[in-house]
Homo-oligomer: A and B are copies of this chain.
Amino acid sequence: MEHYEDQHRAEHEDSALIVNQGVQQPPSVNPNWKRVKRRELTTDEYVDGILSQNITILSKAITLVESLKPEHYAQAQEIIERCLPYAGRSIRIGITGVPGAGKSTFIEAIGEMVINLGHKLAVLAIDPSSERSGGSILGDKTRMETLVHNKDAFIRPSPSAGSLGGVARKTRESVILCEAAGFDVIFIETVGVGQSETAVHSMVDMFMLLQIAGAGDELQGIKRGIMEMADLVAITKADGNNILRAELAKTQFVNALNLFPTPESGWRPRVYTCSSVEKKGLTDLWSGVEDFLAFTKKEGYFKSNRNNQDKYWMFQTVNEALKESFYRLPAIENQLPDFEKKVLDGQLSSFVAAHQLLNIYFNNIAKKL
């Protein structure tokens, strides 16, 4: 049960799953149960739990997906495959914006509105820098206080360890699990400063850029490549003294977006202003989202985009699995630091080190199989 205790556990796991003598039920059924023994769930228990929309089990399953242990990896893959037939029936929206653009407040406000429309909302995050920076986006529980306590919302911080490729793969797998658990709107939050936007773009139906109306430098801090991905731009904090500036920013964005060629979807990106605090402009903005989805579904782009993403993820999954197979092999894990040191000290060339490591790997693989 070590993975249960590790740093990647979910927010929702505070009300830990309580099990007793192999029979597992949600704690709500029998409040007298104590934390007698935590044991590994079987794959059946995971899958049944997810499909019966048990949030605690969904959370545990995602923890399994994020785990670095080889045995968890295998089980996680089996769970995902068995959830796949129940997945895909959601809309997946990427939301990005530089720190300070008001992402949490925006997601709280629009998330509540979306839930009131009858949806179930999952909010995931991709932020491979979270380990370095010491804090994950969405990692602070006090943020999104309303959503966190809404039974139709599921908030999950970014996996905090691993390469961008690994983190992105885990997030995409979490999307599958959330969909199987009945969430039909998925937000994937990212910080609009790095390369994670491309990763998010490869797993969403729509990409939303959040921008705060500032002092005329609205376009700063956002890389051109990110702007070009946006299907919708939301100028946040359009309230009080900020309304005029927000409108100005909107005009600037409309002009800037007009300079880009029409994207493959055929959809011309739209710009909206809104206020998360005063809850203004959110309905308009959401109808923009619905327009986009109707348009791309009608034009066939929605489906072709998902199929292309699937092909991309086939390759990504293979490449990541090859790396995991290598770097998680105990023989490699044990000897890698020594090889690294020797290369840094100039005692061993990168080539020789790599080939010696590869020999260790393939010899071990051959023994194992």
On A, residues with C-beta under 8 Å from B are: 77, 80-81, 84, 173, 176, 303, 307-319, 321-323, 325-326, 339-340, 343-346, 349-355, 357-358, 362-363, 365-366, 369
Contacts and interface: CB of A to CB of B under 8 A. Distances in A.
Name the prevailing secondary structure of the A interface residues: helix
Contacts of A173: 351
A63 to B, nearest CB: 19
Contact of A317 (B312, B344, B354, B365): B354
A326 B318 contact: yes
Contacts of A307: 343-346
Q: Which of A314, A343, A352 has the most CB of B within 10 A?
A: A314
22 contacts: A81-B355, A84-B349, A303-B346, A307-B343, A309-B350, A310-B349, A311-B340, A311-B350, A313-B351, A314-B339, A314-B340, A314-B354, A315-B354, A316-B350, A317-B350, A318-B357, A318-B358, A322-B325, A322-B358, A362-B365, A365-B366, A369-B369
Contacts of A322: 322-323, 325-326, 358
Contacts of A81: 349, 351-352, 355
Contacts of A312: 350
A273 B309 CA distance: 46
Contacts of A369: 362-363, 365-366, 369
A311 B343 contact: yes
A49 to B, nearest CB: 20
Given A311-B350, A321-B355, 14 more contacts: A307-B344, A307-B346, A312-B350, A313-B350, A314-B339, A314-B354, A315-B354, A317-B354, A317-B355, A318-B326, A318-B358, A321-B358, A362-B365, A365-B369
